[in-house]
């Protein structure tokens, strides 16, 4: 089985001591591709640096809503330069481009670590920047469903999303099953993580069941949201098959099929040639 972990923060300091071993365990578990999303400029640079040097890694860049207050007048230009410089390095090294998405970006009204008006302003700026760079977006949406949907609808109406390619992925989906069709209509895939394996996880299971197989991707969000039976430990990409097994159970299909379908979806979403 071949898996694609579409969201893992393994560029973070949590993995400084055993990074090569983390990648080795991922490969042993069948996880052959991992996308590293950026949360800040510095974090995005770290993701890009690692992705250039390792064929199983890909990067996304962006400013998380928690850090929206750090955005300044030069941020957009610096991100454009980072994406183009990194992909040029990848091409010169003999591989395809390695920055394949923009994110994670969005709104977080749960912690409110940046003012809400600032979050909305920076979210919109980054949606526009992703459009300029022709990159699908990775959306963070926590306790801000209606506000996020309003902004995504406006972006869709303004032509910021491609009509012939997925707009992006709503990462670590925690919304209701009823909201899923709205996101699908806007062109989004939906990503699910460890919480679908938790006891009494009714809401995420209902939501996953509502997602068509051609719009489903799987992710660990390492080092967070560790799936059962490793809950309580640091999460890592090698645990993705536990999430995949539960997703296969929910969709009443073989694990091999869910691995193949979700990997194919991720390759399509990020425009990666096999």
Q: What is the pLDDT along the chain (274 residues), one digit of tens a residue?
A: 999 999 999 999 999 999 999 999 999 999 999 999 999 999 999 999 999 999 999 999 999 999 999 999 999 999 999 999 999 999 999 999 999 999 999 999 999 999 999 999 999 999 999 999 999 999 999 999 999 999 999 999 999 998 889 999 999 999 999 999 999 999 999 999 999 999 989 999 999 999 999 999 999 999 999 999 999 999 999 999 999 999 999 999 999 999 999 999 999 999 998 7
3-269 carries CATH number 3.40.50.620: no
Could you state, in order of their start, the residue ranges of all structural domains in the chain?
3-269
For residues 183 and 192, is the Cβ–Cβ distance under 8 A?
no
For residues 167 and 164, what is the distance between their CA atoms, to the nearest angstrom? Answer: 9
What predicted TM-score, i.e. pTM, was given to this entire model? 0.97
């Amino acid at each position: 089985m071949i898996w694609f972990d579409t969201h893992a923060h393994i560029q973070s300091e949590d993995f400084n001591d055993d990074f090569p071993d983390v990648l080795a365990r991922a490969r042993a578990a069948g996880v052959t591709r991992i996308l590293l999303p950026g949360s800040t400029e510095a974090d995005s640079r770290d993701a890009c640096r690692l992705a250039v040097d390792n064929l199983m890694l890909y990067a996304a860049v962006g400013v998380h809503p928690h850090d929206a207050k750090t955005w300044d007048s030069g941020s957009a230009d610096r991100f454009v330069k980072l994406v183009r410089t990194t992909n040029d390095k990848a091409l010169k090294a003999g591989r395809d481009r390695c920055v394949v998405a923009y994110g994670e970006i969005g709104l977080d009204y749960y912690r409110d670590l940046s003012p809400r008006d600032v979050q909305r302003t920076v979210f919109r700026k980054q949606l526009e920047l992703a459009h300029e760079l022709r990159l699908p977006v990775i959306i963070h949406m926590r306790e801000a469903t209606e506000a996020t949907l309003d902004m995504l609808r406006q972006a869709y109406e303004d032509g910021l999303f491609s009509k012939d390619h997925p707009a992006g992925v709503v990462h670590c989906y925690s919304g209701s099953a009823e909201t899923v069709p709205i996101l699908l209509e806007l062109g989004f895939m939906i990503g699910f993580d460890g919480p679908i394996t938790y006891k009494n996880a009714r809401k995420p299971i209902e939501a996953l069941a509502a997602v068509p197989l051609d719009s489903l991707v799987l992710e660990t969000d390492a080092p967070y949201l560790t799936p059962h039976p490793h809950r309580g430990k640091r999460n890592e990409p090698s645990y993705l098959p536990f999430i995949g097994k539960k997703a296969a159970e929910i969709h009443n299909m073989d694990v091999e099929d869910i691995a193949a379908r979700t990997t194919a979806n991720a390759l399509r979403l990020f425009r990666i040639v096999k």
